[in-house]
Amino acid sequence: MNKTIDGLSGHFVVRLNPECKVYEGHFPGEPVSPGVCNIEMLLECAAQVMGFPLRARKISRCRLTTLITPLSHPELELHIDLKEKEPALFVLNAEIGKDADNYMSLKAEVTRDE
């Protein structure tokens, strides 16, 4: 994974592993990245920006615009932008895509996962 972090923003480049066990059930021979796994990728990258584990408290928008597969989309770019809403509560705006294409966007309230 390559990453660039600047304050409360980050850009990450990740590679999907088509041999990962998650694809055995989702779906054999036609692997698709489950939406919950996409959200988890974004939360883990946001945690790297913050320097501590995060959990989603509320998801206000989650838009999947393209089916993400490790075969057709082996390398992804994740864009993270966090803003403090109140102490210990942040608004996360995040996207998964490649170049100018957007595959998924997420807006959520996140907090430290203790």
pLDDT band at 28 (very low <50, low <70, confident <90, very high): confident
Average pLDDT estimate for 81-104: 96
With 90 as the cut, is the pLDDT of residue 105 above it? Answer: yes
| pLDDT at 17 (0 to 100) | 93
Cβ neighbors of 91 (< 8 A, separation 6 or more) are 82, 83, 85, 107, 108, 109, 110
| pLDDT at 114 (0 to 100) | 80
For the chain, what is the domain count? Answer: 1
Distance CA 99, CA 70 (A): 16
Edge to edge, the sheet with strand 101-112 lists 2-6, 9-15, 75-86, 89-98, 101-112, 54-64
Tell me whether strands 9-15 and 75-86 are parallel, antiparallel or unpaired.
antiparallel
The answer to whether residues 19 and 10 touch, using CB atoms and an 8 Å cutoff, is no
Task: Give the residue numbers spanning the domain of 8.
Answer: 2-112
With 90 as the cut, is the pLDDT of residue 1 above it? Answer: no
Beta-carbon-side half-sphere exposure of residue 10 (alpha carbons within 13 Å):
23
| CATH code for position 10 | 3.10.129.10
Over the stretch 29-86, which tens digit does the pLDDT of each residue have?
Answer: 889 999 999 999 999 999 999 999 999 999 999 999 999 999 999 999 999 999 999 9
Indicate yes or no: pTM above 0.75. Answer: yes
pLDDT band at 25 (very low <50, low <70, confident <90, very high): confident
